[in-house]
Amino acid sequence: MIIVKNYINGEFIEVEERRPKHSPIDGSVIAETPVSKREDAKAAIDAAYDALKAWSQLPAIKRAEYLYKLYEIIKSREEELINILMVEGGGIYKKAWGEVVFTERLVRNAAELARHYGGKTLQSDAEGVVSMVFKRPKGVVGVITPWNYPLSISMKKIAHALATGNTIVYKPASETPVTGFKIAEMIHQAGFPKGVFNLVVGPGSTVGDEIVVNKKVSHVTFTGESATGREIASKAGGALKTVTLELGGSDPLIILDDADLNLAVRIAVFGAFFHQGQICTSSKRIIVHERVYDVFVKKFVERVSQLKVGDPRDRTVEQGPLISPRQADEMERFYQDAVSRGGRALTGGKRAGAYFWPTVFVDVDRNFRIMREEVFGPIRPVVPVKNDDEAVEVANDTEYGLSAAVVTTNINRAFKIAEAIESGMVHINDVTMLEESHVPFGGIKASGFGREGGEWSFHETTYDRWLTITLRERKYPI
């Protein structure tokens, strides 16, 4: 049994009200977690605010040294973190292992960039004037993260904000508080100064809301569903503070008639069903040229029906549970809506507790919920199109614009489609859910705004300060 605590001003703090955390694997209680109140969030924000001056004035090489130490600690605790990600979040071993390794890359990337991300000198219109732009940390950064990749998404936001001299107040998802607690443990182990990083576990309605509205918080970075993102943007905008929002997606995978269908099936299976389809950039709508539609569907369904569902700690398992039985309930509602509208499920549709079997629907149109909304689980529609123009039209017929992919052997067609798709990211002959530690990750439309990763994370958490030095006496008009 893990006792999760808040971490405020360098100390682990008990909270009076607690609740159990159940594993989605079997419903067993794996931890007791705090139910923090608004006052707890305020204490964490105050600590971060008080620590800001000293941390931001620390030489960048010193901040980088703390991050390199954190990187080494993560490496030394890999197996512990992998096990937590499986037991708490339901991810299979390969997903958990990949998330830990990617987290290491993110922290190392932040440390490497810390000394090399700066401003620039400009040519002045006036004689004898030196004109410069400095990068300055925004201040206290509020970090609010989701449950599907609780370690890597959190650390991407935290590490880069720390590298640029900001201090942190962090609220992990209520579904994955143990992972958030382990982040606090590792940062404490790395010896970061008191108040630089703070963890508060609790509801979004209290802890999250205080982070968004508190005047001492300068910037909020949030990854999660679009409805919550809209609310955060509205409140933060009213307080005149900046936000970074990485929200939902209904990401299209387009398969053209000249595609290698064996490759296309592999891309579609991985892109649609990895981590049970609970990824914002999962391939959620599979759009296939009508000339190869029937062959593709047959191959795709055959492979999907073979995916092994079970306890993710079994390394032969390819599909673990959803994050909770409540999420499986939502998949049942999506399933019933599709059936009621005339859709045919060629495989899947089975549900047991938090488990929902990978499901493929055909005979769907754009009015189905599985075509209109973000399906954060293992249900996927496959729709035929007559040509490239219709493929783009269907791909863009969504409020979202996060990621997309095109499978083809004709690079000219691929580029034309990539240019026409409305999304923040497009991948050719690969899955929709690619990510690297140093690239600009983010979307457009209802998928949010801002970019995170590498120098783009640094840009989000800093502001530009223009500074001039006048080296000769200037003549003024009055």
**So which residues are the catalytic ones?**
246, 280
Q: Return the amino acid letter for 448.
A: G
How far apart CA 446 and CA 92 sit, in angstroms, is: 29
How far apart CA 256 and CA 31 sit, in angstroms, is: 48
Question: Is 218 in contact with 141 (CB distance < 8 Å)?
Answer: yes
Question: Is 425 in contact with 402 (CB distance < 8 Å)?
Answer: yes
β-sheet with 18-22: strand ranges across: 2-3, 29-34, 18-22
**What is the enclosing helix (H) or strand (E) of 293?**
helix 290-304
From the list 269, 303, 307, the residue with the least C-alpha distance to 286 is 269
Question: Is 446 in contact with 400 (CB distance < 8 Å)?
Answer: yes
Question: Is 25 in contact with 87 (CB distance < 8 Å)?
Answer: yes
Question: Is 150 in contact with 173 (CB distance < 8 Å)?
Answer: yes
Q: In angstroms, what CA-CA distances link 279 with 273, 291, 307, 402, 470? A: 9, 30, 18, 11, 53
Q: Cβ contacts of residue 470 below 8 Å, gap of 6+?
A: 126, 128, 129
Distance of CA 256 to the CA centre of its chain: 29
Measured on CA atoms in the order 399, 401, 384, 416, is the torsion positive or negative?
positive
